[in-house]
Chain A
Amino acid sequence: MQRIDKAGIRSDVDQTELRLRTLFIQGATGDEAAYRQFLQTTAAHLRAFLRRRLGSWPDEVEDLVQESLLAIHNQRHTYDTDAPLTAWVYAIAKYKLIDWLRRHARRETLNDPLDDENEIFSTADSDAREAQRDLRKVLDLLPEQQRAAIIHTKVDGWSVRETAAALNMSESSVKVAVHRGLKVLTAKLQNES
């Protein structure tokens, strides 16, 4: 019986790999809808995984989901297409989880070893919640140019060209400001919690 169950999980994970990889690759060509779908599906898997792993800190789950999503977004150029996408996502989520646990100096939850790449993708929880901390407030802590570049391109829906004109910057500096700003945001989240 157990073998059948395991095989069932295996093929579910394979399906997830196929779907996520397609969405991610479409997103990498500039398809916003596919990329949004990729992030949403990933978020649901991350949430279920982190909820299980952070049993004693249910309030922190959503913060860490957001931190992991931000990390996945910031590092999307580091995906090595030879390896499964799910392995890449798992490595990042595991890194963020261990980093969080280390910051909170509580290692006892790691008694259960983190070594199963399928662990994230065998479960999902699409019930997105409010995080403890408000990312928008953390956004306000960014240097003005980075903050403005992020808000205009990613919240107001302006194009890079419009943003560049409004901020009196070149288009490539707008892109750099967005990229750097999101990285600074990650650092601020780490220092804050």
Chain B
Amino acid sequence: MNTDDLINMLASGDTRPPAMPIRRILAWLAVSVLGSFMLMALFLGVRSNLLQVLALPAFWMKFIFTLALVAIGWRLTARLSLPGARTGLVATLLALPLLALWSIAAVSLMTAEPGERSELFWGSTWRVCPFLIAGLSVPVLFAALRAMRELAPTRLRIAGAAAGLSAGAAAAAVYCLHCPELAAPFVGFWYVLGMLIPTTAGALLGPRVLRW
């Protein structure tokens, strides 16, 4: 077929673009976060003293940190799903919550008694925390990659990584409702490590599953 014939074919009939499947994508994401919450509630359990914990600033620091990463991560993922959309500014914004939390962590380590520092960093659940966050991120990562396939990512590895990071941040937010740790140094290292597991998984999966 000559290219002019192809052009005639594509330009005949309805040339209006199909609507963005935004509602469908939001529905998938909502269901997947709910799935992540259900996994947490069933296998780990919501903290019994959650109501008391809600009164502590340390909890809100941790929760807002994860939510900020969720918001910026999803924005970045959305931009990476559109060809040619600018991503530099949003990607830079990702550093803000990290820097803020690490500053708090640094201050709390410096002001703590030397004997208490290791407790602030290791807590009592460092062995499981990253893996539980990674586990809770599975449904969200799956939904995010599925949603991206409806669009047109052109940098597949970075796009997959961004989807993984957003899924990890959402899982970490869900995990906050179970996690007993409140120290900034713990969150700044083990939570971040937990989010990096789905980020790596996304970077590995991206080139395979996002091709179009």
Contact = CB atoms under 8 A, between A and B. Distances in A.
A77 B12 contact: no
B84 to A, nearest CB: 4
B1 A87 contact: no
B16 A32 contact: no
Contacts of A66: 1, 3, 6
B157 to A, nearest CB: 12
B84 A131 contact: no
A130 B1 CA distance: 6
A31 B14 CA distance: 9
Interface range for B: 20 to 34
Contacts of B42: none
B205 interface: no
Contacts of A35: 10-11, 15
B109 interface: no
Interface in B1-52: 1-4, 6-20
A43 B15 contact: no
A82 B8 contact: no
Given A28-B16, A160-B13, A69 B82 contact: no
Interface in A58-90: 62, 65-66, 69-71, 73, 75-80, 82-84, 87-90
A129 B3 contact: yes
A135 interface: yes
Most chain A CB atoms below 10 A, which of B4, B7, B84 = B84
| Most chain A CB neighbours (cut-off 10 Å) among B3, B12, B85, B152 | B3
Given A36-B7, A62-B3, A77-B19, A160 B84 contact: no
Contacts of B18: 77, 175, 179
B3 to A, nearest CB: 4
Contact of B6 (A30, A70, A95, A190): A70
B19 to A, nearest CB: 7
Contact of B154 (A69, A95, A175): A95
A30 B11 CA distance: 9
A99 B2 contact: no
Interface stretch (A4-12, A104-112, A150-158): A150-158
Contact of A80 (B17, B84, B154): B84
A113 B212 CA distance: 22
Given A36-B7, A75-B83, A29 B16 contact: yes
A110 to B, nearest CB: 14
Given A92-B154, A95-B154, A134-B1, A39 B82 contact: no
Contacts of A77: 17-20
Interface in B111-167: 151-152, 154
A49 to B, nearest CB: 14
Contacts of A80: 79, 82, 84-85
Given A66-B3, A70-B6, A129-B2, A83 B15 contact: no
A40 B7 CA distance: 7
Interface of A: 27-33, 35-36, 39-40, 43, 62, 65-66, 69-71, 73, 75-80, 82-84, 87-92, 94-95, 99, 117, 128-131, 134-136, 150, 153-155, 157, 159-160, 175, 178-179, 183, 186, 190
11 contacts: A39-B7, A40-B4, A71-B152, A75-B152, A83-B84, A83-B86, A92-B83, A130-B1, A159-B13, A160-B14, A190-B211
Given A91-B154, A154-B10, 16 more contacts: A32-B13, A35-B10, A36-B8, A62-B3, A66-B1, A75-B83, A75-B152, A78-B151, A84-B84, A130-B2, A150-B9, A153-B12, A154-B9, A154-B12, A154-B13, A155-B9
